[in-house]
Amino acid sequence: MTNLSTPYYLIDEKKLLKNLKIISHIRETSGAKSVLALKCFSTWCVFPLMQKYMDGTTSSSLFEARLGHEKFGKETHAFSVGYSRKDIIELAKFADKVIFNSVSQLNMFHKDVKGLKLGIRVNPGISYSHFDLANPARKYSRLGVIDKKEIEKIAPLVSGLMFHFNCENDDFANLAKSLDYIGEKYGSLLKKMEWISLGGGLFFTKGGYLVREFCAKLKDFAGKYGVQIYLEPGEAAITQCTELVTTVLDVVHNKMDIAIVDASIEPHMLDLLIYRQNAKIASPKSGPHKFIIAGCSCLAGDVFGTYGLKKKLKPGDEVRIADAAGYTMVKKNWFNGIQMPSIVVRRLDGKVEKIRKFTYEDFKYNLS
């Protein structure tokens, strides 16, 4: 890969396949279908591999839904916090399921999507999230319907319910307890439905997750209420499959050695900046040499983190930042006009493909 100029995102299909096989196993064992959450990952050059193991896509906007339909195929689930009539008319052309966030939106638009499977998002009042910013049941949350009586009134209009109440939940015991609660609170409603979505945020591809128990719980829940369960994996589908490959441009010193790389946290890994997290370093390996790794933008806080590295960094050295796919590539932007990382894929056969290189023209026409 010496002919590749940094920065670039490197997607490794072998690493991606590990997650996909778990997803496929869960379907075979529990009966639960999985649709890819495009809000997390929508890099469609690897969709041909993903569609072999997943059942379709789910979206948060008209454009995402259209992309899922055009580039992934299979089932196309459409959700939005707020649809316009124009959105609904377009969605009716290709969506399989349209999920509304509120009773008012359902009442407003259900006749425009007549013949499609309709659903409504429920806010069960419980959640699992490490961040208030991503907590679906946070105070004053606008996500989903809280009043059970409202849902009961419109139940004849829908065939399914969405319960998206998790964010990076790797605790099976917590999920099992939550499903029991949902069953107790909404059981009579569930028995009137054909399907339910448990949303995303379930980290069942994390090492050590109790997959067998997870499958058994899903199968039992689906059988008890007579529903098809859908999962909406985003991070779980693509975790640990992508690196952001960078080159050290300079090393400066201000009480500590600071390596400046040809990438930046704000335009290239904005999710970490938003949640105030440090990046994970894939290489160099850890060791005794302490370095701050920082980006090349003008933002004072453009810092990936502080690390102990096996080697002292110098200009020209390569630094690889791990786990750069989920909620990362979808948020990339042209802040400071910094070179956008190319998109590169290492295929299952080991062949490396440069899928796209971004140019000045892309930057120029990003706005007007």
Summarize the confidence of residues 309-329 as an average pLDDT.
97
Residue whose pair of structure tokens reads 């949350």 in the numeric block: 141
Domains within the chain, CATH numbers bracketed: 14-238 (3.20.20.10), 242-324+332-364 (2.40.37.10)
Percent of the chain with pLDDT over 90: 99
Report which secondary-structure segment, H or E, holds 29. helix 13-30
**What 8-state DSSP symbol labels residue 52?**
T
Neighbours of 323 (CB within 10 A): 19
* Secondary structure element (H or E) that encloses residue 121, with its range: strand 117-121
User: What is this structure's pTM?
Assistant: 0.95
Q: β-strand 318-322 against 257-261: which pairing, if any?
A: unpaired
In angstroms, the CA 204 to CA 227 distance is 21
Q: State pLDDT tens for residues 63-109.
A: 999 999 999 999 999 999 999 999 999 999 999 999 999 999 999 99
- What stretch of H or E contains 260? strand 257-261
> Given a cut of 90, is residue 280 above it in pLDDT?
yes
∠ CA 325-330-335, nearest 5°, is 110
Strand partners, 188: none
Look at residue 1 and tell me whether its pLDDT is greater than 60: no
- Report how far residue 265's alpha carbon sits from residue 242's, in angstroms, rounded to the nearest whole number: 16
Confidence category of residue 202, pLDDT binned at 50, 70, 90? very high
pLDDT bracket for residue 345 (50, 70, 90): very high
Quick: pLDDT tens for 43-61: 999 999 999 999 999 999 9
Q: Does the pLDDT at position 2 exceed 80?
A: no
User: What is the Cα–Cα distance from 46 to 345, expressed in whole angstroms?
Assistant: 8
Which tokens is 159 given? 């065939």
Give the pLDDT of residue 3. Answer: 80
Across the chain, what does the average pLDDT equal? Answer: 97
Residue 52's identity, in one-letter code, is K
C-alpha pair distances (Å), 101 with each of 164, 251, 290: 11, 50, 48
User: Strand pairing partners for 33?
Assistant: 230
- For tokens 């379709």, the residue is 56
Q: What pLDDT score was predicted for residue 329?
A: 97
Distance of alpha carbon 46 from the chain centroid = 15
